Structure 1
Amino acid sequence: MGAMSFWHWALVILVVVLLFGRGKISDLMGDVAKGIKSFKKGMADDDEPATATSEPKPIEQQPAVKTEAEKAKS
């Protein structure tokens, strides 16, 4: 009842790939990377010293995420 062996991990990875497919996993990881980059950019923007004369920055519009049905129509 110790740690999981190589065969346990191989089976878990195989099941995950079969359920989600390689495409969805890579899309998910790409979205996670974009989120991390946005978070870091936001944190860097907050580190800049604010002055009384500086104007507020406008909020950047992000394109809407298409659902699977909308992707199929395109």
Structure 2
Amino acid sequence: MGSIGIWQLLVVLAIIVLLFGTKKLRGIGGDLGGAVKGFKKAMSDEKSTDKDAAEQIQKSESSAPSESVNTEKTKDSNKV
């Protein structure tokens, strides 16, 4: 009770094929596959963009303190 057997699945599949036809089902499958590929590509592009942004932030943070120290030294040497 409540479980779906193989025969019920085959009957449902046969009804779907009769309603839509194999050509339309093939087209739907191709569209679904293309959508999944596009989603995976977008996710990998987003990860690489995030990594690039994180690297740029780290570079700017590591170079920012040394620049401020250099500016302070220049200001001190100008006072003398």
Structure with higher Rg: it is 2
Runs of 4+ in 1 over 3 A off after TM superposition: none
Residue 26 (structure 1) aligned with residue 39 (structure 2): no
**Structure 1 segments unaligned to the other structure (5+ residues):** 53-74
Aligned-partner Cα distance in 2 for 1:38–1:25: 20
Partner of 1:37 in structure 2? 37
**How many residue pairs are counted as aligned between the two chains?**
52
Aligned-partner Cα distance in 1 for 2:4–2:31: 29
Q: CA deviation at 1:2?
A: 3.9
Q: CA deviation at 1:14?
A: 0.5
Q: CA deviation at 1:17?
A: 0.3
Aligned-partner Cα distance in 2 for 1:14–1:7: 11
Scaled by the length of structure 1, the TM-score of the pair is 0.60
* CA-atom RMSD in angstroms: 1.7
1:1-74 residue pairs with structure 2 within 5 A? 1-48=1-48, 49-50=52-53, 51=56
**Structure 2 segments unaligned to the other structure (5+ residues):** 58-80
Percent pairwise identity: 37
